Chain A
Amino acid sequence: MSSAMIDLILQATLDTLYMVGVSGLISTLLGVPLGVMLYVTRPRQILTMPILNQVLGIVTNIGRSIPFIILMVAIIPFTRMLVGTSIGINAAVVPLTIAAIPFVARLVEGALNELSPGLIESAQAMGATPWQIIRKVLLPEARGGIITGLTITLVTLVSYSAMAGAVGGGGLGDLGIRYGYNRFNPTIMLITVVILVVMVQGFQSLGDYLVRKSDRK
């Protein structure tokens, strides 16, 4: 294999990590609060707001139901407005993030669902404000479940980022399609797949490790 090819693979790997990393980070920063909102604004919860809850629920569901490949194309004007271009890895980060936010939110909501209602009740009995309950009880107690959710999100983002490659987003998916598929180079195809598998394994192991560390059950 030529050194140019190796550089190409290296660059593609870094591009994928960049796309997954940046979109993972932003979607966590926005998705976790959204998930908490979905949970605490429910009926009979600490910040009950039924209408807001329904609106957030519907928006989240819409985000979750649009196939990624369509979302990517549909929001091109928005992407262009935000990063000035509709191709390249920065352009791919925008749809990846938008797809991941509702995904993260639902997983966070699910993690909060697993908590015993008694925890909230006892915090309320101690005179905790809703914000204190979120910060000192809900988030720390659901930390294991939230990390599990974020791990799933990262893994999903790896496969989404490969799709982003299909529209000129760069990264390993792009490499695999252009060199492996279009130019009939099975070696490149195999290498990209192996790197993706290793990457996913890495994320999963890291996530599992962090869950074990934070879980005291």
Chain B
Amino acid sequence: MIELNNVSKTYYSKASGNKLGAVHALKNASLHVPKGTIHGVIGLSGAGKSTLIRCVNLLERPTEGSVTVNGQEMTRLNAQELNQARHRIGMIFQHFNLLTTRNVFDNVALPLELMGRSKKAIRERVLPLLELVGLNDKTHQFPAQLSGGQKQRVAIARALASEPAVLLCDEATSALDPQTTGSILELLRDINQTLGITILLITHEMEVVKSICHRVSLISDGELVENAVVGDFFTAPRTQLGREFLNDFLQLAPPKELVDRLQETPSDTTHPIVRLTFSGDAVSTPVISQLARECGVDVSILQAKVESIQERTLGLMIAELLGTSEQTQQAMHYLESQKLQVEVLGHVQRDD
């Protein structure tokens, strides 16, 4: 439904003197979002998320590469065709961008007016939409009288007015409190399920990805560095940045005083610190007690957490393995033979 092929976007600015300074906001990004799915793009500020999503409806014209939406190659359309194509792509924004001088009804009616629909057709379309987003009692209110969540609901209704096949969400929940975020995400999921609309969203919040996305891409410095099913991304991110996002989300990083004591290479007088990630069957296996019995090591759990990510359960643990170096070596082998992921964070000196 949405297809980006090697899309690059470079901004040129007059930097020093007359030399052109080039900023590569997007580098060779390729992305495929199948019909009816919700795809999230996550990244830090300035990573190129906004540029990426704006390249889909050509609010930003890519410097290189092609963009296809709904079977139409957007990059080849003339101005008039592009406007027609944009009627089939809804978009919502972090700051809602509602017209302050129009009431709720007229805001939702705007895209239909732009398409030249009759008053009657507009009425017949707008009222059910307001019902869908739960604002049928606010028809004649002005945006200034609404809360942030209600404003975003108006924006969603407005984006849906022209019956788009695709909805782009530009940090749609970033300006909202956690509770409102939850209800807006629920609404987006409903829309995806009942109307079959394909959704591409960008965000910096793992929570958003976790609650509604099917697939996720990680963007860093203008490049899409990781692309995975959400369950996989949350259990085994492949990149360092992915792990950082995950740790940040799970708030599972080794305590600071431990990090300070960590050394990279083991010696006779050190214990390994490991991070174990359990997913699937491993969650219900009593790994730790087996480890103690089979290898004779003691396990000191420093941190642990269980999360459910959509239909999957994810267990995470940071632990110190206490024993002689042969024992801990054996323990590592044992852990690796189990269905779980082991990452050695480092080694700490024995206290005794």
Picked from A116, A127, A128, A136, the residue with its CB within 8 Å of the CB of B97 is: A116
- Any B CB within 8 A of the CB of A126: yes
Q: In the complex, how many angstroms separate the beta carbon of B148 from the nearest chain A beta carbon? A: 15
Q: In the complex, how many angstroms separate the beta carbon of A187 from the nearest chain B beta carbon? A: 48
Task: Please tell me if the beta carbons of B101 and A126 are within 8 angstroms of each other in the complex.
Answer: no
Residues of A within 8 A of B59 (CB): 121, 124-125
Chain A interface mostly: helix
- Any B CB within 8 A of the CB of A137: yes
A-binding segment of B110-118, B259-267, B298-306: B110-118
Picked from A121, A137, A143, A216, the residue with its CB within 8 Å of the CB of B143 is: A216
8 Å CB interface, A123-157 against B: 123-129, 132, 136-137, 140-141, 143
Task: Please tell me if the beta carbons of B110 and A136 are within 8 angstroms of each other in the complex.
Answer: yes
Task: Please tell me if the beta carbons of A119 and B101 are within 8 angstroms of each other in the complex.
Answer: no
- Any B CB within 8 A of the CB of A214: yes
CA distance A216 to B91 in the complex (A): 24
Task: Please tell me if the beta carbons of B97 and A119 are within 8 angstroms of each other in the complex.
Answer: yes
Q: Mark A174-204, 1 if CB is under 8 A from B, else 0.
A: 0000000000000000000000000000000
CA distance A129 to B116 in the complex (A): 12
Task: Please tell me if the beta carbons of A216 and B93 are within 8 angstroms of each other in the complex.
Answer: no
CA distance A145 to B158 in the complex (A): 26
Residues of B within 8 A of A143 (CB): 101
- Any A CB within 8 A of the CB of B99: yes
Residues of B within 8 A of A216 (CB): 100-101, 142-144
- Any A CB within 8 A of the CB of B95: yes
- Any A CB within 8 A of the CB of B339: no
Given that A125-B59, A214-B101 are contacting pairs, would A136 and B114 also be in contact in the complex, using a CB cutoff of 8 Å?
yes
User: Chain B CB within 10 Å — which of A124, A126, A215, A216 has the most?
Assistant: A126
Task: Please tell me if the beta carbons of A126 and B86 are within 8 angstroms of each other in the complex.
Answer: yes
- Any A CB within 8 A of the CB of B102: yes
Q: In the complex, how many angstroms separate the beta carbon of B203 from the nearest chain A beta carbon? A: 17
Task: Please tell me if the beta carbons of B93 and A121 are within 8 angstroms of each other in the complex.
Answer: yes
- Any B CB within 8 A of the CB of A67: no
Task: Please tell me if the beta carbons of A122 and B114 are within 8 angstroms of each other in the complex.
Answer: no
Task: Please tell me if the beta carbons of B57 and A141 are within 8 angstroms of each other in the complex.
Answer: no
Which residue on chain A has the smallest CB distance to residue B88?
Answer: A127
- Any A CB within 8 A of the CB of B83: yes
8 Å CB interface, B151-178 against A: 158, 162, 168
Q: Mark A145-174, 1 if CB is under 8 A from B, else 0.
A: 000000000000000000000000000000
Residues of A within 8 A of B202 (CB): none
Residues of B within 8 A of A122 (CB): 91, 93, 97
Picked from A124, A136, A141, A215, the residue with its CB within 8 Å of the CB of B113 is: A136
Which residue on chain A has the smallest CB distance to residue B89?
Answer: A125
CA distance A140 to B113 in the complex (A): 15
Residues of A within 8 A of B102 (CB): 140
Q: In the complex, how many angstroms separate the beta carbon of B2 from the nearest chain A beta carbon? A: 15
Which residue on chain B has the smallest CB distance to residue A214?
Answer: B101
User: Chain B CB within 10 Å — which of A124, A127, A217 has the most?
Assistant: A127
- Any A CB within 8 A of the CB of B247: no
CA distance A18 to B299 in the complex (A): 94
CA distance A41 to B115 in the complex (A): 24
CA distance A137 to B100 in the complex (A): 10
CA distance A126 to B162 in the complex (A): 9
Task: Please tell me if the beta carbons of B99 and A137 are within 8 angstroms of each other in the complex.
Answer: yes
Given that A118-B95, A216-B143, A216-B144 are contacting pairs, would A128 and B114 also be in contact in the complex, using a CB cutoff of 8 Å?
yes
- Any A CB within 8 A of the CB of B84: yes
Which residue on chain A has the smallest CB distance to residue B112?
Answer: A126
Q: In the complex, how many angstroms separate the beta carbon of B71 from the nearest chain A beta carbon? A: 17
Top 7 nearest A-B pairs (CB, nearest first) are A127-B86, A122-B97, A127-B83, A125-B91, A118-B97, A216-B142, A126-B111
Other than the given A116-B95, A127-B114, 12 more pairs (CB < 8 A) read: A116-B97, A121-B59, A125-B90, A125-B91, A125-B168, A126-B87, A126-B158, A127-B82, A128-B83, A132-B114, A215-B101, A216-B144
Sampled A-B contacts (7; CB under 8 Å) = A123-B110, A125-B57, A126-B87, A128-B83, A129-B79, A136-B110, A141-B99
Write the residues of chain B forming the contact surface with A, with a CB cutoff of 8 angstroms. Answer: 57, 59, 79, 82-87, 89-91, 93, 95, 97, 99-102, 110-111, 113-115, 142-144, 158, 162, 168
